[in-house]
Amino acid sequence: VVKRAETLVARAWLESAQSALVASVDAFLKANPLRRATPREHARGAVRQAAAAFDLIAESALEAGLLEARGPGLARPGYEAVLTAAQQAEVEIFLAGLRANPYSPPTDRIPSPGLLAFLVERGDVEDAGSGVVFEAGAFRQMAARTRAHIEANGSVSLSEARDLFGTSRKYAQAFLEHLDALHVTRRNGDLRTLR
């Protein structure tokens, strides 16, 4: 018998539940090799445990070093997603295209959803939606310039953002809507202000 969070559980049950959890994490990452971690909710569903029991099992697996927390997910310690040679080549071409035209990035060579999610999770790109993906460094620079513009002028309009970056309405709109979604800005009619 083991005492966990004011609850007594059988050691054999806990060890079996930990093994099932680790197996579910491994299975998810094998099926989704570009993900850095298995979402906790997916793992909980896979092991068919109530929330309280799952939290107890996950916490004990973390303490035992069987798993590590990665944001809202779980992974084996040291696990890293690895790109194939073809995926790496695709990523390099895609990122080079984004860097070549940071404020009007190409929209015709966007990687598969899984590879794009990998790049977002790794912090290489910012997916603004509507098929517009910015290189992460360019996006941070754009966000900082937009923030400075709003602080100096009180707000920014779509046309001001377009002119600020010498880009088209399509890119400026996707960028501003993504800032809204990130809760950096708030839309008030045709203008954006800081939150």
For the chain, 195 residues long, give each residue's pLDDT as a single digit of tens.
566 656 677 888 889 999 999 999 999 999 988 988 999 999 999 999 988 889 999 999 999 999 999 988 999 999 998 899 999 999 999 999 999 999 999 998 899 998 998 999 889 999 999 899 999 999 999 999 999 999 999 999 999 999 999 999 999 999 999 999 999 999 999 999 999
Q: pLDDT value at position 143?
A: 97
- What is the three-class DSSP state of 59? helix
Rounded distance, CA 74 to CA 11, Å?
Answer: 22
Q: pLDDT value at position 109?
A: 86
Q: Are 171 and 132 in contact (CB under 8 A)?
A: yes
Q: pLDDT value at position 11?
A: 85
Q: pLDDT value at position 119?
A: 94
Rounded distance, CA 7 to CA 77, Å?
Answer: 27
Q: pLDDT value at position 5?
A: 58
Q: What pTM was computed for the model?
A: 0.74
Q: Are 103 and 142 in contact (CB under 8 A)?
A: yes
Of 79, 89, 97, 100, residue with least CA distance to 34? 79
